[in-house]
Amino acid sequence: MPELPEVEVVRRGLAGSITGRTISTVTVLHPRPVRRHLLGAADFAAQLTGRTFAEPRRRGKYLWLPFDDGDAILAHLGMSGQFRLDAPLSPDQPNTRIRIRFADEGSELRFVDQRMFGGLSLSPGGAELPAEIAHIGPDPFDPSFDPERAVARMRVKRTGVKRALLDQTLVSGIGNIYADEALWRARLHYARATDTLPKRAAAELISQVTQVMADALGLGGTSFDALYVNVNGASGYFDRSLNVYGQQDRPCPRCGTPIRREPFMNRSSFRCPRCQRVPRHARW
């Protein structure tokens, strides 16, 4: 699932391309991506027609496309959802599920989703912040994000530090990739108990989380295959800069010890066994 840098790359691409444009027609090519719209695909299309987009917004991994009337489209990209901007009347990309055309007859917005775990839904009154994601905490790039508060909340939790990073109510936007990379940078094992972290160590971890996602954003995010691309179909390049994630058996860039892959929450964690030793106080 795309994490903050990948979603922000998409948001920026959309912001420069759909802001201020009025929808002329919406065609739902498959009903599953609008399954959360209980009145069905035809009503979803009718509700959007004639509305004008404001600038797209994001919180953590969540993206929404506000309208100038106060409502919004909430977008969930799932594992393979993509927004593409294509020339008007050009052939659809494979797995195109929704097509939006504009009154200015310029580039069309298309929602492409191979696996169809993602989708779009209308969020009444959601232009500022959709109610559906109001429980999600701010991310490190949000002006309201308070690093000291995040550190304090992390240190009172009784859990492992990686579990805390993946808690979207604590700090949003972080997934498996950037959690592993930040923990490597901070020299912390993923099972280190949060309530044993010194304040300085917790602050350093939050700082590294912010920096690694900023670094990834600068390279267009992380792409391992064609399922994550920006609105023009281009891949990100941060996968070439990963230190531990997906680097099993390769030498640690810091000490040369082979990177280890270990099971974690029905997925995997990658760490250097020398730089990130198993802690005395751990919460698996």
Q: Which residues are catalytic?
A: 2-3, 61, 267
Question: Helices 176-186 and 199-218 sit at what angle, rounded to 10 degrees?
Answer: 130
Determine the Cα–Cα distance for residues 123 and 129; give it in Å rounded to an integer.
Answer: 9
The DSSP-derived string for 243-269 is: SSTT-TTSBPTTT-PBPEEEEETTEEE
Alpha-carbon span 271 to 216, nearest angstrom: 19
Instruction: Tell me the C-alpha distance between 177 and 2, whole Å.
Output: 10
Q: What is the DSSP string of 104-153?
A: T--PEEEEEESS---EEEEETT-SSS-GGGTTSPPPTTSTT--HHHHHHH
Q: Which pairing describes strands 96-102 and 119-123: parallel, antiparallel, or unpaired?
A: unpaired
Please report which helix (H) or strand (E) contains residue 59, including its range. Answer: strand 57-59
Q: Within the chain, what is the greatest distance between any pair of CA atoms?
A: 63
Residue 61: what residue type? K
Alpha-carbon distances, residue 274 vs 49, 193, 210, 281 (angstroms): 58, 18, 24, 17
How far apart (Å, rounded) are the C-alpha atoms in residues 252 and 65?
A: 41
